[in-house]
Amino acid sequence: MKNQKLLVIFMIVLEIIMISLISSWMRYTTDLEEDQDSASDLEKISSFGNINDLMVVVVLGFGIIMLSYRNYGLSTMGYILLIVSFCVPFSIILNVFWYQVSIRDVRVYRIDLSIFIESMFATLTVMICFRALLGKVTPFLLFLVSIFEIFFYSLNVYVSSFELEIFDLGKSMNVHLFAGCFSITVSLIYTMSNKAIYTAYKKQVSDHISETITLLGTFLLWIYLPGANGSLAQNTGFYRSIINSVMSLISSTVVTFLLSGFFHNGKFTIKDVRNGTIVGGIAIGSVAHLYLTPIVSMGIGGVASLISFFSMNMFCGWYEKRLNIKDTSEIFSLNIIPGFVSGLSSIIVSAIASKYDSKYSDQFSKYFPQGNDQWKFQAGGLFFTIGIAIFGGGLCGLCIKLFNFPAPKDPFNDEENWNESNSTSKERDDSDLELKRQNFNISARDNFNFKLKTPMQSEDDNEKISSDSD
């Protein structure tokens, strides 16, 4: 109850500050204010009209994919709406701030649809971090982490776009790689300072229905990631983003199913399919708008899914034991690996772009602002993103540890912060009781069969004993 009151006060103060800044800093573009429809306006609507694709990815895709915990569904979906409603205007304010820093002037900013797309990408970083902290933190801490993450995200975008002038239209580096490194760092420090949270992982309960629902999130991401990758691209770059993303997704899906079936005795696992099938759409993001051949797009998706599969099934278990951290949503494999692969792809494509400058004709400087040295700046942007993400995540985690913010009393459970109807609570209790009864019956049956089977008895003797006992 105390945490909830603190959250309400915190939100009221933040909303007052944001409303004041928005009212003094921002106006709509002149065309929107004058309600004029011109050819250029229609072209902008065509270029940025797929903001809905990005919203589906942020709200539904990464929201539903987090519904694997049966007792934490209300918190998962409910907090997403609240966080999105807070992060979008907060990100717009920070974007305007860094823009004014870049021009060394303070003026009224004319906002259009493109800045909303940028703010949705910023919100996506928080959604990824939410997956790492799912069930571990209170709503107040979730907002605190959001403020830290969006600030360092906007700083990273400012350095990448205005200072280094790198290209990352699909935001695979600036969003997925950044958010993955940030969230893993925060989760590591927070878990180390709250040992009870680590032991509470045993309360994570998922069943066949909840795992099946998470696949719906995978389907939504599979469908809408191509549009999200091209949301900032224009003209033919948008169509190349769609085609290259789809080809990469196809490749990662096929490779994931082949590897999962081969290494799991001919059967597929939900974890592999849920995450590995969409890493291709993330890995292609930074270069999706460029002139790539279909085999290159498929190669990027295949390599990303290959590395992601082995990291998910081998490396993640190792670092979870060594670092005493539980990567509940496979963020390392789903976000960090494909984000890093996308960054490496941008370096390679930039290094060889001069050999194919005829394809870009007079637009070569538009795609590669640093010319033949673009690959150096892409490499600098890649490692700067990793560094600032770890630094920001570490600073956020240390602040949480320093001020000793309380952890949830009942992790991974909706009842602490949500009022449930009596019927819903009773149905869940009955479901838990039935699950325990089934587990007990299975355990009792296995123990009974084990006692019947002695080393000197054959299977026929066991069947005879069983029939005699009946």
Each residue's pLDDT tens digit, 118-134: 999 999 999 999 888 87
**Residues listed for the chain:** 470
Q: What is the CATH number of the domain that holds 175?
A: 1.10.3430.10
Residue 33 placed within a domain: no
- The confidence score (pLDDT) of residue 203 equals 57
- The confidence score (pLDDT) of residue 315 equals 77
- The confidence score (pLDDT) of residue 392 equals 96
Residue 271 placed within a domain: yes
Residue 430 placed within a domain: no
Number of domains making up the chain: 1
pTM, two decimals, is 0.84
- The confidence score (pLDDT) of residue 326 equals 64
382, 343 Cβ separation under 8 angstroms: yes
Residue 432 placed within a domain: no
Residue 352 C-alpha from the chain's centroid: 31
Residue 465 placed within a domain: no
- The confidence score (pLDDT) of residue 427 equals 52
- The confidence score (pLDDT) of residue 31 equals 54
Please, which residues have CB within 8 angstroms of residue 81's CB and are 6 or more apart in sequence?
A: 59
Q: Which residues of the chain have pLDDT under 70?
A: 1-3, 29-50, 193-206, 317, 319-328, 420-470
Residue 193 placed within a domain: yes
For residues 134-149, b (16+ Cβ closer than 10 Å) or e, as one string? Answer: bbbbbbbbbbbbbbbb
Written as six digits, the tokens of 192 are 């180390």
257, 269 Cβ separation under 8 angstroms: no
Residue 469 placed within a domain: no
What is the SS3 assignment for 68-114? CCCCCHHHHHHHHHHHHHHHHHHHHHHHHHHHHHHHCCCCCEEECHH
352, 331 Cβ separation under 8 angstroms: no
* Domain hosting residue 150, numbered range: 2-27+51-415
Residue 461 placed within a domain: no
Q: Rounded distance, CA 306 to CA 257, Å?
A: 11
Q: Rounded distance, CA 229 to CA 238, Å?
A: 8
